[in-house]
């Protein structure tokens, strides 16, 4: 697997040497744990990550600047919105990717998104192939009920946690970068 990630990490020039990358990876791992076990990502993880990324890059000497963080945050927030509206991903997934983007910047969050999207897409196709049925439509109906103030129970059927794939993508890109040396 590292042999596959090495050319991608080299091509995308993912910088995993900064403490920003490792902070974002740590938060992604904790979020993955919550997403798998509770099917939600707490705001107490995502909002501080966004704040640290946006303010830290703007003010700290090790930061890349406010625009760097804002561009990464913007991409992370916007790219998952088309999946959030119909219920394909949760709000926590959107906020987590935005927080990761605020720490990593536009270039690296695009790389994380491409790898995580590919991994999650393949896993979803395998899951659909194994179950031989489409995901339950209750995800969409639940989203509509949430928007109009209906039931707050999130259905478990048809829900696919995304945070583990984000954390795995960050780990694979880091491993590929180290493999490259």
Give the model confidence (pLDDT) of 46-58 as tens digits. 999 999 999 999 9
The mean-pLDDT minimum among 28-42, 64-78, 142-156 falls in 142-156
Which residue matches tokens 């076990």? 37
Mean pLDDT across 76-96 = 90
Model pTM? 0.77
Contact 124, 69 (CB under 8 A): no
- Show the tokens assigned to 4: 């596959």
Instruction: State the DSSP H helix or E strand holding residue 123, giving kind and residue range, or none if neither.
Output: helix 91-131
- Show the tokens assigned to 105: 């910047």
Instruction: State the DSSP H helix or E strand holding residue 70, giving kind and residue range, or none if neither.
Output: helix 66-79
């Amino acid at each position: 697997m590292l042999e596959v990630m090495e050319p991608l990490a080299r091509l995308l020039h993912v910088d995993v040497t900064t403490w920003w990358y490792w902070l974002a990876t740590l938060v992604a791992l904790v979020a993955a744990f919550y997403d798998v076990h509770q099917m939600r990502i707490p705001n107490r993880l995502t909002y501080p990550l966004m704040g640290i990324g946006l303010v830290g890059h703007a003010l700290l000497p090790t930061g890349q600047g406010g625009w760097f963080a804002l561009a990464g945050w913007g991409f992370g927030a916007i790219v998952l919105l088309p999946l959030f509206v119909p219920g394909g991903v949760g709000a926590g997934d959107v906020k987590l990717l935005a927080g990761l983007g605020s720490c990593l910047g536009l270039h690296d969050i695009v790389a994380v998104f491409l790898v995580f999207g590919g991994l999650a897409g393949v896993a979803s196709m395998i899951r659909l192939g194994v179950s031989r049925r489409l995901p339950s439509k209750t995800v969409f109906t639940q989203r509509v009920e949430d928007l109009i103030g209906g039931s707050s129970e999130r259905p478990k059927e048809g829900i696919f946690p995304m945070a583990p794939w984000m954390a795995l993508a960050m780990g694979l890109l880091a491993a590929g970068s180290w493999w490259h040396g």
